[in-house]
Chain A
Amino acid sequence: MDDTQSTSELRPTQEKAPGFQSWRPYQSAQQCCEPSTHFQAENLSIVYRKHLALQNVNLEINKGCITALVGPSGCGKTSFLMSINRLTDLILGCQVSGRLLINETDIMAPFTDLLHLRRQVGMIFQKPTVFPFSIRKNLEIPLREHGMCDHATLASSIETSLQQVGLWDEVKDRLNQPAQGLSGGQQQRLCLARAMVLSPEILLLDEPCSALDPISSGIVEDLIVSLRGRYTVIIVTHNLAQARRIADYVALFWAVDGIGQLIEHGPAHTIFQSPQHELTSAYISGTRG
């Protein structure tokens, strides 16, 4: 609980809405938080029918930090993310084994309340997936589903969450218009607002900037940085420069003989400056992957 205390002064862009102008590389990555494990994977393996997508992953993720998952296409990054909120349950033929602990609670245990888990763990997909309704309805659906019915409270939660992602000023006059009318970057931020409106503890971001132009991408990136300390963020990215800019920790996945594995994991500066594994140095120097 004192993580939030110690990090409260490290929220540079939280007060005002993040804009592209305020974007700058985040330098002091390693001092983001008191290391305390929030999420832990033990011997995690994921199988799609016969195909082993991820094998024996052991990974600890610290509370309030930004952890970047990097690695070439098909090495199981998305599968890993989807196992954290057990979205893998919905994929036909997908089996997950091992232990996944959030705050020391095993979420793989039978009778886990999945709705509660998924409320605790928000997720953003690679492609913005707004519901085909109005902007307001997009945010109202999850709120109502989790028991908020009062109009005034709904309206204020919607406003707060849109302000958090810096979207409020852009959309406040068109809340009742279709969300598909927004630009890609705005849609992605709406998705982020929609995930954050439920105040999750962990945010899973699957290549949130890959479909965006540099400006929108910068805005979203700023936003992610502003979450440091308040949320535990796990972000998949193909953009090493981005990982360098925002991540406190980096985990490199690699498909060895078609089987995804965790190759190396550690503080971002260690991974980028003195990688232990040859694959890591090859990947970050761009000679492989």
Chain B
Amino acid sequence: MLSPSNTIGETGATLMVWTAVTLIATPFLWLSGDLLWYGWHQLSINFVVSVPQNAGREGGIGPILVSTGLIMTVCMAVAMPIGLGTALFLSEYTQNDQVSGRLIRGSLDVLAGVPSIVFGLFGNAFFCQLLGLGFSILSGGLTLACMVLPILIRTVEESFRAIAQDQRLSAAALGISQRATIQHILLPAAIPGVLVGCILGLGRAMAETAALIFTSGYVDRMPTSLMDSGRALSIHIYDLAMNVAGGNSNAYTTALVLIGLLLIINLSASWITKKWTTLNQLPS
């Protein structure tokens, strides 16, 4: 049935697909292999909990993990309600062609493309100086919140829009108010999307360096309040690799921890999506 030229085309296509796969997989495998090779031997509970010494060349990353956690908490605590509110506004209270909706969507698209260093400078000017928050975990978290909002809003809005219009119409036909429809029908149905949006935003914030350099600062002591400066994981890696001679080995191990955390975050996003779809699927 297959003519020879067809078989050749087939082989060529297969070859191309595999080349593409290899090209994409290689850097990832290389990177992980590299990190594991240089970082794994140092990774221990002790490294994760202990205090960095000698500018980070020795010791661990305990306070840095705590600062990172706090920055992320501030970021998500601020970004989640604002993001959810905006997404609801965009999907439920504006039509696609309405000016307010277009304006907000347009600005979000622009914001999503702004380099993170610009967010860093903005955060420094606005939160650190204008609002007088100084170099602090609070400034860093707020800056990151601004940065993850576009991606968060877009994902959450999509998950609201994915709910069929039928559901809204049947709710309205039952005399259920719009507020109650959102609260009892749309929100529960959109929860997986909302969670995935938050987790993706969190992942993006976690991997961020440039936006934090000028806002949360470098201090690697254990933070005692949100007004303390605190060093995030990515900044720690950057500092060890660029500014501290002999810091490479600890930089590798820290990077391993960061990649591990990002992996966990992304896996949990897909786990939630999967869990939720099977939950809502017909168990006929």
Contacts and interface: CB of A to CB of B under 8 A. Distances in A.
Contacts of B16: none
B1 interface: no
Interface in A120-149: 122-123, 125, 127, 129, 131-133, 141-142, 145-146
A263 to B, nearest CB: 27
Interface stretch (B121-129, B135-143, B168-176): B168-176
A178 B283 contact: yes
Interface string B261-284: 000000000000000000111111
B282 A198 contact: no
Interface of A: 85, 87, 90, 92, 114-119, 122-123, 125, 127, 129, 131-133, 141-142, 145-146, 177-178, 180-181, 191, 194-195, 198
A115 B177 contact: yes
Nearest to A126: B166
B180 to A, nearest CB: 5
A33 B169 CA distance: 31
B167 interface: yes
28 contacts: A87-B173, A90-B169, A90-B172, A115-B176, A115-B177, A118-B174, A122-B173, A125-B166, A125-B170, A125-B173, A129-B169, A131-B170, A131-B189, A132-B189, A133-B188, A141-B174, A141-B184, A142-B176, A145-B175, A145-B177, A145-B180, A177-B283, A178-B283, A180-B281, A181-B283, A181-B284, A198-B174, A198-B175
A84 to B, nearest CB: 11
A195 B169 contact: no
Nearest to A121: B173
B176 A141 contact: yes
Contacts of A125: 166, 169-170, 173
Given A114-B175, A131-B167, 12 more contacts: A85-B173, A118-B172, A123-B173, A125-B166, A131-B170, A131-B185, A131-B189, A132-B167, A178-B282, A191-B170, A195-B173, A195-B174
B173 A180 contact: no
Contact of A145 (B168, B173, B174, B279): B174
Contacts of B185: 131, 141
A191 B170 CA distance: 9
A123 B171 CA distance: 10
B95 interface: yes
User: What range describes how many residues of B lie at the interface?
Assistant: 20 to 34
Main secondary structure, interface of B, reads: helix
A275 B222 CA distance: 89
A123 B169 CA distance: 10
Contacts of B166: 125, 127, 129
Contacts of A194: 174
B282 A118 contact: no
Contacts of B168: 90
Contacts of A92: 95
Given A141-B184, A145-B180, A181 B282 contact: yes
Contacts of B280: 132, 178, 180
Contacts of B171: 131, 141
A281 B168 CA distance: 39
Contacts of A142: 174-176
Contact of A118 (B95, B173, B189, B279): B173
A23 to B, nearest CB: 26
Contacts of B172: 87, 90, 118
Interface centre among A87, A117, A132 (most CB of B within 10 A): A132
B173 to A, nearest CB: 4
Contacts of A181: 282-284
B282 A87 contact: no
A179 to B, nearest CB: 10
Nearest to B166: A129
Interface string B149-192: 00000000000000010111111111111001000110011000
Nearest to A197: B174
Nearest to A191: B170
Nearest to A91: B169
B168 to A, nearest CB: 7
B170 A145 contact: no
A180 B173 CA distance: 19
A146 B175 CA distance: 8
B269 to A, nearest CB: 20
A127 B169 CA distance: 12
Nearest to A130: B170
A94 to B, nearest CB: 12
A118 B175 contact: yes
Interface centre among B166, B175, B176 (most CB of A within 10 A): B175
Nearest to A90: B172
A195 B188 CA distance: 21
Contacts of B177: 115, 145
